[in-house]
């Protein structure tokens, strides 16, 4: 009897996995609208060339200390022109780089017209729901023409974020030091036990 109860339970579990629909996460957003509407909705609008794309969770030593805000990629761009926001010579935006999560898929070395919003922590975020677009080699774009020439970026560098590579090295060094200290204490403890 117990044998049949176990088989029945396993079959019921398998059937529930197959039959019950699982929720699907997909990007759903309203089109950005006209250039003027996109400009009004955005906290920052600028053009720039991508010089670095970094997965903030790639380092196993720092990943546990980074809050998952849904935008794991940090994209650094050299700013060319600014239409809105206080943007320096370099700008940092965050994105998920996944279409399912409404992320924008930046490519290293390419130029973009970025329409970004500021999240709760003050970070600029670019998404596929914004009017952000890749610029052609000639820099032509209907939105770019509508925006006009823009301003020069501010002569300041972007503030380092707490998730920068220097923070990663600091945490990695600290973790290594703690591990080394624990190893030395363990060796001393063993030596003292052998002498007793």
Tens digit of pLDDT at every position of the chain (196 positions): 555 555 554 444 444 444 444 444 567 888 888 999 999 999 999 999 999 999 887 887 777 777 776 778 899 999 999 999 999 999 999 998 666 778 889 999 999 999 999 998 899 999 988 999 999 866 668 888 899 999 999 887 655 444 444 444 455 565 666 677 777 777 777 777 777 6
**Span 26-160 CATH architecture:** Beta Barrel (2.40)
Measure Cα distances from 45 to 60, 79, 83, 144 in Å.
Answer: 33, 10, 5, 11
Q: What confidence score (pLDDT) does residue 60 get?
A: 77
pLDDT reported for residue 29: 83
CA distance 135 to 110: 8
Of the candidates 52, 33, 55, 46, the residue with the CA atom closest to the CA atom of residue 112: 46
Q: The pTM is what?
A: 0.65
Q: What is the pLDDT of residue 159?
A: 53
């Amino acid at each position: 009897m117990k044998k049949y109860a176990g088989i029945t339970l396993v079959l019921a579990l398998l059937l529930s996995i197959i039959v019950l629909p699982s929720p699907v996460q997909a990007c759903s957003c309203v089109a950005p609208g006209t250039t003027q509407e996109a400009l009004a909705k955005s906290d920052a609008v600028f053009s720039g060339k991508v010089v670095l794309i970094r997965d903030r969770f790639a380092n196993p030593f720092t990943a546990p200390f980074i809050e998952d805000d849904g935008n794991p990629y940090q994209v650094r761009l050299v700013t060319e022109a600014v239409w809105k926001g206080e943007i320096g010579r370099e700008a940092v935006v965050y994105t998920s780089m996944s279409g399912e999560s409404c992320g924008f898929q930046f490519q290293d070395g390419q130029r973009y017209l970025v329409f970004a919003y500021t999240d709760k922590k003050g970070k600029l975020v670019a998404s596929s729901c914004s009017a952000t677009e890749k610029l052609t080699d000639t820099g032509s774009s209907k939105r770019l023409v509508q925006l006009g020439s823009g301003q020069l970026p501010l002569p300041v560098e972007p503030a380092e974020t707490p998730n920068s590579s220097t923070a990663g090295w600091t945490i990695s060094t600290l973790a290594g030091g703690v591990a080394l200290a624990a190893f030395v204490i363990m060796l001393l403890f063993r030596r003292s036990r052998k002498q007793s």
